[in-house]
Amino acid sequence: MPNRILSKFVVAIPKNEKIVLFNTKNAKTISIPESIYTNGEYLENRLTYNLLQKEEFLEDKFEIYNIKNNNLVGEKTLRIIILIHENCNFRCVYCYEKFKKGLIKEDVFKAICLFIQKELRTHKFKKLAVGWFGGEPLLGIRKIEQMSTQLIKLADEYKVEYISHITTNGYLLNRRNHTILQNVSVSDYQITIDGMLDYHDKQRKLINGQGTFKVIWNNLINLSKASSNFTVTIRANVSGENINNMNRLIDSFKKDFGNDKRFRLYFVNVNYWSKNNISTILKRDIRAELFEKAIAKNVSVMNMKAFINPCAICYAAYENSYVFGSDGLVYKCTVALYDKRNIIGKILNDGTVLISQSKHNLWLKDISIKENKKCFNCQILPICRGNQCPYKNIQKNTNVCPPTKKSLEKYIKIFLKQEKCDYEITF
């Protein structure tokens, strides 16, 4: 047999007297009894060897080449995020938006539809993924309805899959708006809740300063009574101030949504999102710690695959990914809205997108073009591709390692609690 060395992109994780091999090139898992792993017997066995080879667990002199070529240029998804309403009914203490603009302009609305039609006409895409963002997108619910109807028609006409999600503060997610969204295939919601009422209401207030927790939580409870198919990710932004509030959030989530698999929790470290930030930024990656706590209480959390899949990178790193402002400006990232490097162009009324290719290239740092020793020797290269958050890379002018690098084993261990291994080897 030729090569019998495991690829450097394979991570070995001990689990209940077994070793689970996790392949960062394809997120596949193989479980092997510890003794057989230790004495290397599994590599001598013809069947096991064939499996390891088929699933790319063995070192291969072409593997870097293959990872490089599994690049994003051939991506078959057209990703569009629309800032449908750039004002907001909230004034969160850490928010970076300036609220100078409002509802999407009619000519911009039409131009985006024309642009998408031109792109789909090329038959390069198999999927159209549309995200509704703001400000607060539900302030423009009728426009979402109108525009979605047109986009669904286009997806049908060009026979591409259509998926749609919304990032909302949840305050206006009442039954009426939920029904409108369901009718136009918006079936994935991300809603931020920063802890229980006492903390959340200090962070996420209405323009008039009133708290928002009760209305949002009530909307979510009503949503859970609907029979429709959707997913809700409740995102908690965690800082030094609210970390101790998370236990109560997990408990309340369990009480009200614990049996509903459509709901799940997601934790994010508060970061330097705006100059207004007054929270204590936690240096350690709190995600794994809180996911583990939630899972121990049998609470459903985001699937770890989102962090450890190959190409688990930001949408901004994809070539066919655009964020359209309500006034027709074209961006890559929804965080850096006031950074000139992020304003890569403008859409014209006829649907032409005028883009500065040099600015666009800043976001698409492709490992097949820019060789980088640090990344090529990194076990999570297939996951991160040296460009997990292009905006951080642009700011620091280097490839910034994501938290996944340090927490990889923890994430894999949680993943192994969420999903069974792909293969179990028993001799």
Interface ranges with ligand SF4 (CB under 6 A):
314, 316, 333-336, 374-375, 378, 380-381, 384, 386, 389-392, 399, 401, 405
Q: How far is the CB of 361 from ligand SF4 (least distance, A)?
A: 14
- The answer to whether residues 172 and 137 touch, using CB atoms and an 8 Å cutoff, is no
Q: Which residues pair with 19 in a beta bridge?
A: 14, 32
State which residue, 274 or 352, has the beta carbon closest to ligand SF4: 274
Q: How far is the CB of 217 from ligand SF4 (least distance, A)?
A: 26
Here the tokens at position 227 are: 């029979």
State which residue, 376 or 427, has the beta carbon closest to ligand SF4: 376
State which residue, 6 or 375, has the beta carbon closest to ligand SF4: 375
State which residue, 144 or 378, has the beta carbon closest to ligand SF4: 378
The three-class DSSP label of residue 340 is: helix
Cα–Cα dist 133/334, whole Å:
8
Q: How far apart are the first and last CA of the chain?
A: 20
In sequence order, what are the residues at sequence separation of 6 or more whose Cβ sits closer than 8 angstroms to the Cβ of residue 137? 83, 84, 85, 144, 166, 167, 168
- The CA-based diameter of the chain, rounded to the nearest angstrom, is 72
Here the tokens at position 73 are: 């240029």
State which residue, 213 or 307, has the beta carbon closest to ligand SF4: 307
Cα–Cα dist 112/350, whole Å:
9
Q: How far is the CB of 389 from ligand SF4 (least distance, A)?
A: 3
In sequence order, what are the residues at sequence separation of 6 or more whose Cβ sits closer than 8 angstroms to the Cβ of residue 304? 291, 411, 412, 414, 415, 418
Q: How far is the CB of 302 from ligand SF4 (least distance, A)?
A: 15
State which residue, 255 or 340, has the beta carbon closest to ligand SF4: 340
Q: How far is the CB of 323 from ligand SF4 (least distance, A)?
A: 9
What are the CA-CA distances from residue 388 to residues 6, 34, 367 (Å)?
25, 33, 12
Q: How far is the CB of 71 from ligand SF4 (least distance, A)?
A: 14
Cβ atoms within 10 Å, residue 107: 13
State which residue, 87 or 399, has the beta carbon closest to ligand SF4: 399
Here the tokens at position 121 are: 């006409």
Q: How far is the CB of 116 from ligand SF4 (least distance, A)?
A: 21
Identity of residue 97: E
Q: How far is the CB of 384 from ligand SF4 (least distance, A)?
A: 3
Cα–Cα dist 319/172, whole Å:
33
Angle in degrees, 0-180, between the axes of helices 141-157 and 175-183, rounded to the nearest 10: 20
Q: How far is the CB of 20 from ligand SF4 (least distance, A)?
A: 21
- The answer to whether residues 107 and 324 touch, using CB atoms and an 8 Å cutoff, is no
State which residue, 49 or 133, has the beta carbon closest to ligand SF4: 133
State which residue, 197 or 355, has the beta carbon closest to ligand SF4: 355
State which residue, 18 or 135, has the beta carbon closest to ligand SF4: 135
Here the tokens at position 406 are: 């340090």
In sequence order, what are the residues at sequence separation of 6 or more whose Cβ sits closer than 8 angstroms to the Cβ of residue 144? 84, 132, 137, 138, 166, 180, 181, 184, 186
Residue 340 C-alpha from the chain's centroid: 24
Q: How far is the CB of 24 from ligand SF4 (least distance, A)?
A: 10
